[in-house]
Structures are given as structure tokens and as C-alpha cells.
Amino acid sequence: MTQVEVLTLHSIISLVSPHGLYLVGYAWLFGMSLWISFFGGVIAFKALPRQQFGNLQHKTFPIYFVISIIISSFLLGFWTISHSNVITHITRPNVADVAQAYALASVLLCQAFNYFVIGPLTSRTMFKRHKLEKDEGKAYNAEGVSLEMKALNRKFGMLHGISSLANLGAVIALGFHGLWIGNAGLKGY
């Protein structure tokens, strides 16, 4: 017969531990990434006029990227400190602990790239397109838009695609890490 654990104030307080905080941080980051990437944006795109949707994304994504950078930095730091194999074998990505550190580092790098480089370029291009739409009196995809609008459309599409790929890379890396910690635990095998 298994022993029944009784919750006490001490046992509840002791839940706030580095491992507990790690799992909460990971869950927050992965859940937020899934929501932003696959649900929230789609819902907003369907519910809002295009320019309002663009303005919402312009306000939402920087916050998402900053939170992602902060949490992934914490996760990477904690993982590296608590797994001595990471530093010892840093150049060997086939070492499981190192592979997990690489996954977390890729999340950090992808979201930092989005926040510092691609996001601002995409927003500037989007706002130029909004202004040109107003100046030309027609939507970006209307028949007979100017060559300048066509160039902005290509640039926006390219930047949006790069941003989406970087974000997808972060989501995949987080999924890989989640499967790992779900099977091996935070301490590993």
C-alpha cells in the first residue's frame, strides 16, 4: 500500500523551489508560444480589420518576444548550472544535456532576432504600407497599386516569413525540450 502524503503549510511553501520555478517558467513559455503562434493571432486576424490587426500585432509581439527572452534566458542559465555536462561537452550536441542547452539557446536567439531585428523592420514596413494605402486611396492588394506598394508588399512578405520561421523554430525547440524533460525529468537519466 502506498503512503499518503498530507499537505502542510511547509510542504506547500517548499514547492517554490528552483525545479518548481523551472517547470512553471517552461510551461508559461511553451503555452504562451503556442497561443501566440497558433491561436491568438488567427483569432485576431479573423475578428479585426486588417490595419487594426496589424496594430495589435505591433503592440503584442514585442511583449511576447521580451517575455520569451527573459524566460528562455532563465531556463538556459538554470539548465547549464544544474547540468555539469553542458559546459564539459559544449561542443558535442549529441550529449543530451548539451542538446537541451542548444534547444534553449535557439529559443533565446530566435526570439532575440525577432525582437531586435526582424520585428522592427516588419513594423516599419507595415506602417509604410498603411501610409501608402491612405495616400493612394486603395488597399495594398487592390488592382493597379503602385510599384512602391508592390515593393513594400514583397518586403513585408519576406520579413513576415522570416519572423514566422524564427518563431516556429523557437516553438519546435521548446516542444523538443518539453518532451525531454517530460521523459527524463529535470535532473536527467
- Residue 43's pLDDT is 98
- Cα separation values, 28 from 109, 133, 146, 159, Å: 18, 38, 44, 27
163 within 8 A of 94, measured Cβ to Cβ: no
141 within 8 A of 149, measured Cβ to Cβ: no
Helix axes 119-136, 147-184, angle to 10 degrees: 150
Instruction: Dump pLDDT digits (tens) for 99-142.
Output: 999 999 999 999 999 999 999 999 999 999 999 999 999 999 99
24 within 8 A of 175, measured Cβ to Cβ: no
Answering whether pTM is above 0.75, one says yes
**pLDDT, mean of each 10-residue run, the chain (189 residues):** 92 94 98 97 96 96 98 98 97 97 98 98 97 96 95 97 98 98 89
- Residue 189's pLDDT is 65
Q: Where are the beta strands (DSSP E) in the chain?
A: none
